[in-house]
Amino acid sequence: MPRNNEPPAPAAEKAKTRGRVTILRKGLMVLALPLLYQAVFIGLLLKRQHDLNDAQFWAIHTKTVIETTDHLFLLLVTQRSNLRAYILTSDPVFEDEMNNTQKNLRSAVRNLRALIRDNRSQEDRLDHIARLAESQLEFQDQAISEVRSSERDKAVAAIKTLKGKELMDELQNKIESFRANEEKLDAERLETLRRSGVEQTWLLVGGMAVNLLVGAMAAGMFSREIGGRILAVAENTRRIARGEKLPPVLDGTDEIHDLDAQFHSMSDALNGARFKERVYQQTLERRASELTRANRDLSHKTQEIEMFVYSVSHDLRSPLVNLQGFSRELGTARLELQNILAGDLSDEARTSAKLLIDKDVAESIHYIQTAVTRLSGIIDALLRLSRAGRVEYRPKLVELRPIVSRILEAMRGTIAERKAEITVLKLAPVWADPTAVEQIFANLIGNAVNYLDPSRPGKIEIGMTEREVDDMEAPRTYYVKDNGLGIADAYLPKVFAVFQRLHGSVVPGEGVGLALVRRVVERHGGKVWVESTEGAGSTFLVAFPAKAEFSPLSAVAPPQGIG
Amino acid sequence: MTTTNPVTILLAEDDDGHANLVQRNLERAGLINGFLRVRDGQELLDCLSSRGASHSKELDEAIVILLDINMPRIDGIEALKQIKANPHTFRIPVIMLTTTDDPREIDRCYELGCNVYITKPVEYDVFIDAIRRLGLFLQIVRRPRNGGK
């Protein structure tokens, strides 16, 4: 999969970063969650604490109210007892005492009033108590002034009316009721306090539990959002190292996603490189094998050329020796003739001169002429061979029968002379140059006729065979078979080499025909070879490519119906 | 008692001109008798066997073989190999006489047991000289004949 590896433009990058959930943001979220919870928890805790303090305050407050109430009652009782003591003793000490107590009493009522300002019903009760207390005080003041004006009896009588006692009893009742109310309140507030304590304990325990839970959640989130993703990326890098296929890119917008995307593109690049490497490797191997083959062909060709040059130089030298030798012989004969002519032309001298001219000179001239003919023949053969390598072929579908008939017609004299019987079997057309084909068959048939065994009637057969040929697909293979002299095994490899003549004395020639045949056949992309038994005959076989497209001579478009 | 016979020179050469030149110059060197020419290696071997040399019988005559290398059918090298491999012909002196001066081929001939190697130079004087000296050399080569077989 090709991925776009272009780096985004800076502006786009910035915009992207702004909307992204980066690792930093994830980390902050993971940290913020417990922190937020803890802040809320501490707030709750503070609130609880505050409520508890409040409850405690109110509990203490109630206790103070009760105490003050008790004190008030005590002061009232003390006042009454002091009044009695004063009436009895008229001692001014008690008068002072009573004044003090009165002051204290009023102060206590004020205190109490201040304490219970929040409670309307208790306030009403306290008002009632205060009024009663004032009545009591008035009653007492009356008694005191009577005592002072020495009307003690009146005071005693007043007391005997039990008005003071009634007042006192009512006061006691009221105070008791007030106190009971306050104590009820106290009990309620204590209960609230206790409940608050229990609630706080549970809050702390629950808070801790929730705290742990939030911690675990944060850890889980970290593991899922960061740790797990990094592990996935690490596993992907290992897959790259092992050359395995990668799963799809991790989703999300963080740096880990970017990293994984980078690894994916790296893996793609790597796979692309591997593929290219494989392609290059294969190309290289193919080229190397082509090169090896070309090298082998080249060294084969070089060897052939060396052999060729060797043969040519050897064969050129041979007639040169004759040219040199017999021209010297002519020179020698000339000297001898000069000597003879210098003396008297006696009969004997005449005979010697005649012999010299008839034998030595004639022989020398014959050999010189032969050598020149041979040299010229060799040079012509070389030219023919060279032309066979250069000539431009015009291949087409060639019918062989007319060509073979033409060759046989041209050789009719020789064939009749050798009393050869020639059979031409069915021959399929071949994709080749017509002139080249004629050259090939003329050489092969000519050889077959020339090297027949004179001791038996010659038989030559021209036909086709189906054979497997190396490196060729279903070739068209033709053969020329004779019952002639045959070729010794030792000479089979040399048959197609230049200037090799096995039956030198039988037929004149330059030893270039089969070399020429091989060259022409090979230029057609075909093969030529020989099977032979010495003394029994030879079969020369020529294989041509079956189809025009297999032929190296692809200059002309292949016609219909071939192959 | 030891008597001597003139040697017979057996020339194996496919080129008529060369054969003619060799013969003429040997005659000029005084070797007139006992010259025989064959055209290739096969003929040479046939000639030797027709004269009595076989695997069981040694040749009676004194023979020296002049052998060209490049010949049809059986070439000089193959003929040399066969002559030297046959226990009844391997004593016959063989002189290689050829246009080739390729040192590898010369070495090969000596390896196979040729006695002398002479190149047929295009320089005719050298060639003539070589043949003449060969003729003189062959005149003094007389194979001793033992009284018994």
Last residue of a domain, one of A195, A212, A245: A195
Higher pLDDT, A15 or A290: A290
Whether residues A67 and A168 fall in one domain: yes
- What chain B holds in terms of domains, given with CATH numbers, is 8-140 (3.40.50.2300)
Report whether A516 contacts A385 (CB < 8 A): yes
Length of chain B: 149
A510 lies in some domain: yes
**B3 DSSP assignment:** B
- CA-nearest of A189, A58, A181 to A122 is A181
Report whether B18 contacts A318 (CB < 8 A): yes
Residue A440's CATH number: 3.30.565.10
Whether residues A35 and A148 fall in one domain: yes
**A493 DSSP assignment:** G
Report helix, strand or coil for B21: helix
pLDDT single digits (tens) A416-456: 888 888 888 888 898 888 888 998 999 899 888 888 888 88
Whether residues A311 and A185 fall in one domain: no
- Please give, rounded to a whole number of angstroms, the shortest distance from the CA of B84 to a CA of chain A: 19
Q: Which contacts of A406-414 are long-range, i.e. CB under 8 A and separated by 24 or more positions?
A: A406/A438, A407/A438, A407/A441, A407/A442, A407/A445, A407/A446, A408/A445, A410/A442, A411/A445, A411/A446, A411/A449, A414/A449, A414/A450
Whether residues A346 and A406 fall in one domain: no
User: A318–B15: do the CB atoms touch at under 8 Å?
Assistant: yes
Would the pLDDT of A17 be above 60? no
User: A367–B39: do the CB atoms touch at under 8 Å?
Assistant: no
Question: Is residue A50 exposed (0-12), middle (13-18) or buried (19+ Cβ within 10 Å)?
Answer: exposed
For residue A228, give both structure tokens. Answer: 């797990």
pLDDT single digits (tens) A458-517: 889 999 988 888 777 778 899 999 988 888 887 787 788 766 655 554 555 666 788 888
Q: How far apart are CA A22 and CA A255, in angstroms?
A: 6
* Angle (CA) A133 A134 A140, round 5°: 90
Q: How far apart are CA A453 and CA A132, in angstroms?
A: 179
pLDDT single digits (tens) A55-72: 888 888 888 888 888 888
Using the CB atoms, write b or e for A364-386: b if 16+ within 10 Å. beebbebbeebbebbeebbebbe
Last residue of a domain, one of A350, A376, A402: A376
A118 lies in some domain: yes
In which residue are the tokens 């061979």 written?
A385
**Which range marks the domain in which residue A468 is found?**
394-550
The model's pTM? 0.49
**Selected residues 115-134 of chain B with any CB under 8 Å from a CB in chain A:** 120-125, 127-128
Residues B41, B43, B49, B51, CA torsion sign: negative
- Work out the mean pLDDT of chain A and round it to a whole number: 83
Residue in chain B lying closest to A319 (CA): B17
- Please give, rounded to a whole number of angstroms, the shortest distance from the CA of B101 to a CA of chain A: 9
pLDDT single digits (tens) A84-123: 888 888 888 888 888 888 888 888 888 888 888 878 888 8
Q: How far apart are CA A171 and CA A174, in angstroms?
A: 5
Q: Could you tell me if B16 lies within 8 Å of chain A, comparing CB atoms? A: yes
Report helix, strand or coil for B5: coil
- Read out DSSP for A143-175? HHHHHHTT-HHHHHHHHHTTHHHHHHHHHHHHH
* A133-147, A175-189, A497-511: segment of lowest average pLDDT: A497-511
Whether residues A332 and A444 fall in one domain: no
Question: Is residue A302 exposed (0-12), middle (13-18) or buried (19+ Cβ within 10 Å)?
Answer: exposed
Q: How far apart are CA A181 and CA A184, in angstroms?
A: 5
What amino acid occupies position A195? R
Would the pLDDT of A249 be above 60? yes
Length of chain A: 563
User: B102–A310: do the CB atoms touch at under 8 Å?
Assistant: yes
CA B112 to chain centre: 14
Question: Is residue A102 exposed (0-12), middle (13-18) or buried (19+ Cβ within 10 Å)?
Answer: middle
Number of domains in chain A: 3
A232 lies in some domain: no
For residue A529, give both structure tokens. Answer: 């070879």
pLDDT category at B4 given cuts 50, 70, 90 is: very low
User: B16–A324: do the CB atoms touch at under 8 Å?
Assistant: no
Report whether B131 contacts B30 (CB < 8 A): no
- Read out DSSP for B37-103? EESSHHHHHHHHHHTT--SS----S-EEEEE-SS-SSS-HHHHHHHHHHSTTTTTS-EEEEES---H
> Of the candidates B17, B40, B100, which has its C-beta nearest A314's C-beta?
B100
Whether residues A180 and A305 fall in one domain: no
- CA-nearest of B65, B128, B75, B122 to B99 is B122
- pLDDT at res. B2: 38
Whether residues A436 and A480 fall in one domain: yes
A505 lies in some domain: yes
Which ranges of A90-148 would DSSP assign to H, the alpha helix?
A: 92-115, 120-148
Whether residues A302 and A420 fall in one domain: no
- β-pairing verdict for B94-98 and B116-119: parallel
- Please give, rounded to a whole number of angstroms, the shortest distance from the CA of A433 to a CA of chain B: 33
Residue A24's CATH number: 1.20.120.1730
Residues A365, A367, A371, A373, CA torsion sign: positive
Q: How far apart are CA A186 and CA A60, in angstroms?
A: 9
User: B72–A501: do the CB atoms touch at under 8 Å?
Assistant: yes
Whether residues A310 and A370 fall in one domain: yes
A243 lies in some domain: no
Would the pLDDT of B122 be above 80? no
A422 lies in some domain: yes
Largest CA distance in chain A: 239
Q: How far apart are CA A49 and CA A43, in angstroms?
A: 10
Higher pLDDT, A560 or A35: A35
For residue A55, give both structure tokens. Answer: 């409850």
Report whether B24 contacts A333 (CB < 8 A): no
ipTM of the complex: 0.74
Q: Could you tell me if B37 lies within 8 Å of chain A, comparing CB atoms? A: no
- β-pairing verdict for A527-533 and A537-544: antiparallel
User: A367–B123: do the CB atoms touch at under 8 Å?
Assistant: no
A404 lies in some domain: yes
- pLDDT at res. B3: 40
Would the pLDDT of A143 be above 70? yes
**A494 DSSP assignment:** G
Phi, psi (rounded to 5 degrees) for A558: -70, 140
Whether residues A410 and A355 fall in one domain: no
pLDDT category at B149 given cuts 50, 70, 90 is: very low
What amino acid occupies position A421? E
- pLDDT at res. B59: 61
User: A321–B128: do the CB atoms touch at under 8 Å?
Assistant: no
Last residue of a domain, one of A345, A376, A407: A376
Report whether A531 contacts A480 (CB < 8 A): no
A5 lies in some domain: no
Would the pLDDT of A275 be above 90? yes
* A341-350, A509-518, B41-50: segment of lowest average pLDDT: A509-518
Terminal Cα-to-Cα distance of chain B (whole angstroms): 14
For residue A493, give both structure tokens. Answer: 């490899």
Whether residues A439 and A502 fall in one domain: yes
**Selected residues 45-74 of chain B with any CB under 8 Å from a CB in chain A:** 70-74
Whether residues A519 and A371 fall in one domain: no
